[in-house]
Structure 1
Amino acid sequence: MLHKRGRVKPETEKKIQQVLKDEGYRTNIFAKNLKLKKVFKFAVLIPHPEQDSYYWTLPVRGIERAWSELASHRIEVKFSFFDRFQEKSVLLAGKKILKEDFDGLLTAPVLPRSFGRVLEILPDNLPIVFFDSYVPGIKPLSFIGQDAFQSGLLASCLMKQTIHQTSGKIAVVKVQPEDYHIAERINGFLRGTCDFGGFESAVVEIDGQATPLDISRNLEAFYRQNRDLAGIFVTNAMTHKVAEWWKAKRSKHQLILVGYDPIPRNIKLLKDRTINFLISQQSERQGYEGIYALFRHVVLGEKIREKIMTQIDIIMAENVDYYQS
């Protein structure tokens, strides 16, 4: 009866269906797909791995680990990379996805305006999982990432508890182009610092594509006007670029520097204590969980959570060698 073979009286079928419902029975979709020898193809749409100081190598590592684990289940993953500094690049990468018949999409929508246009051209029935960031007003199958506002608030708490001076300026370094979750980090930090007696926060913008020399000039101009600089908060993985500027000054002036992401260059500067704290958003885990979310939904037919929030981890020189994301 379960497979619609043979004849069963209507009243008998009704009773059996009720028993199955009560017992929580569901069809073994995985076994069914295995029999059909179906291959499931998932697209991954993210920035080039080397961009943002090689930050994107972290989720790529997690994606590839999940893919390796699921290879025996006929899962294929195809990467489509775009230039996160070029709006048109996102559209071109999105159109490439249209040319193939994918069963799901994992993406980091770091350029909200472009991604809104990409999502308009993709099939309505394509399961989409966001990670790292999201687009306000668009509801994906699931979002995997950090509470950006809360992480900014945490950064302000770290600053408040460790800052050396009793008054001064705090620089909030906003790396362009900005996306929604970066803006939320800034909002969280500013909310946390609004009650810092004697301190004033100021936003400093730097271009994500700027040369080290241009970044140094930008920061130096800010410092000349704010000699009472007491702390710096950097909103993404480019923390090392700000830290390298400060380290090169060889200043005896002490400040607290808080940033994001355990990429190699950040870790090096964390160990020599130029950077005081790094906040990790568990980027490798985000990529890993993203592929598994698509697998559970598409292949196993399971319902997945709309939000899978990752921990907000604090990394210091004392624990960085033992940190696993």
Structure 2
Amino acid sequence: MKKTTIQDLADYANVSIGTVDRVIHKRGKVSAVKQKKVEEAIKNLNFNPNLLARTLALGQQFNICSLLPRASNPNSYWSLPKRGIEEAIVDYRDFGIACHSIEYNLFDESSFVESADALLAMNPNGVILAPLFEKESLLFIKKLDAKKIPYIFIDAIIPNQNNLSYIGPDLNGSGHVAGKLMSSILNSSDDILILNFVKGLENSHINIIEKGFREFFHSLKETGKGKINTITVPSIEEVDITRELTKYYIKNPGTKGVFVTNSRAHIIAKYHTMHELSIKVVGFDMLQENIREMKNGNIDFLISQRPISQGTMAVKALFEYFVHKKSLVKIQHLPLDIIIKENIDYYIKFQEPVVVDQPNTMKNPD
């Protein structure tokens, strides 16, 4: 018979393995409700705590490195996967899992190369990677493969690689979802702008999202005269954004909707408010600034990609791989939550928590 593991207890009780560990060893604070759930799991699954050391291979250290974009402020998108990783490490550190965070500049390919080289010099047991610069990531992946260092992709995926798993959204599917949402609030004759804030679109996963968006509109049986245009702004500086958007809207006054392909929908929403433009906006993720603009009526739909869960699930997956020697599911797509003004408070309360509100500034958003 299969021996019960601490992970089995955690799954049965619907708590973290860190909580199970605290109950078993009677250390740390655990709520009465969780204490009872764990005790019931131990009883119902006939768990023998004496098997714990053998089951978890205690005493062996597994050093993980994460390579993610640098968050521009504590409330930006890339602070959230990192937060998920840090929270998961707290639960798993008693079982030999440690993590070192290495970051790169999202608008500078050379910084990715430098950070990747620094990571390799640390010779980690495993890597959590957001491969947002595809060409540079491919070179890095070859080096990981050569050193036989396992790695997991989050947020973006490069197909046909030896990654243990990909944990994140279906990129093409998220573009389809955004297209359907946009079509529900516009007429078929309305012009749409796809707005990318990225350095090197052809070298980025964002082009997959844009492709999905366009595919949805091409699939419609009834096609109007509306155009879908794209502009890419390789900057998050206010002066650059204002200049590019102003030039575009002067030439395209019939634009009725904007799809922002990442978490920066609040930037365009603020621009519309400043210039008194009535234009629909669809974007990604429940950042505080996006939440604020949605509540003010300036963003119509947000698609949540669960960035915190991406981080926690990546750590858990490596734990399962290292300690329990489990084979991982190659693709783990996370659900895409559709956020509107009417349900946003529910998601704030019951889904992934958002960080403390930050001052409302337009500079250095993420």
Using structure 1 for the length normalisation, give the TM-score.
0.85
Shift of 1:115: 1.0
Contact 1:43 1:78 in 2 (8 A): yes
Specify the structure having the higher radius of gyration (Cα).
1
Q: Which runs of 5+ in 2 are unaligned?
A: 1-50, 353-366
Contact 1:49 1:60 in 2 (8 A): no
Q: Distance in 2 between matches of 1:197 and 1:228?
A: 14
Contact 1:46 1:81 in 2 (8 A): yes
Contact 2:196 2:261 in 1 (8 A): yes
Contact 2:193 2:258 in 1 (8 A): yes
User: Which region of structure 1 is more displaced relative to structure 2, 277-286 or 122-131?
Assistant: 122-131
Write out aligned runs for 1:225-264 (5 A): 225-251=251-277, 254-264=278-288
Shift of 1:150: 1.0
Residue aligning to 1:205: 232
User: Which region of structure 1 is more displaced relative to structure 2, 64-73 or 91-100?
Assistant: 91-100
- Whether 1:190 and 2:214 are equivalent positions in the alignment is yes
AA matched with 1:120: K
Contact 1:53 1:238 in 2 (8 A): no
Q: Distance in 2 between matches of 1:221 and 1:52?
A: 31
RMSD: 2.0
SS, match of residue 274 in structure 1: coil
Q: Distance in 1 between matches of 2:168 and 2:62?
A: 24
SS, match of residue 155 in structure 1: helix
Q: How many residues align?
A: 293
What whole-Å deviation, never above 9, does each CA across 1:142-184 have from its counterpart, x for those lacking one?
1111111111111111111112x56231011122223543111
Percent identity, aligned pairs only? 28
Contact 1:82 1:93 in 2 (8 A): yes
Residue aligning to 1:92: 114
Query: Which of the numbers 86, 89, 102 marks the counterpart of 1:80?
Result: 102
User: Which region of structure 1 is more displaced relative to structure 2, 166-175 or 45-54?
Assistant: 45-54
* Deviation >6 Å, runs of 4+: none
Contact 2:198 2:233 in 1 (8 A): yes
AA matched with 1:225: K
Write out aligned runs for 1:21-32 (5 A): 31=54
SS, match of residue 297 in structure 1: helix
Write out aligned runs for 1:141-290 (5 A): 141-163=164-186, 165=187, 167-177=189-199, 178=201, 179-194=203-218, 195=220, 196-207=223-234, 209-251=235-277, 254-290=278-314
Q: Distance in 2 between matches of 1:151 and 1:106?
A: 22
Cα distance change, pair 98–213 in 1 and its aligned pair in 2 (3 A): closer
Contact 1:30 1:300 in 2 (8 A): no
Q: Which runs of 5+ in 1 are unaligned?
A: 1-27
User: Which region of structure 1 is more displaced relative to structure 2, 91-100 or 306-315?
Assistant: 91-100
Residue aligning to 2:132: 110
SS, match of residue 98 in structure 2: strand
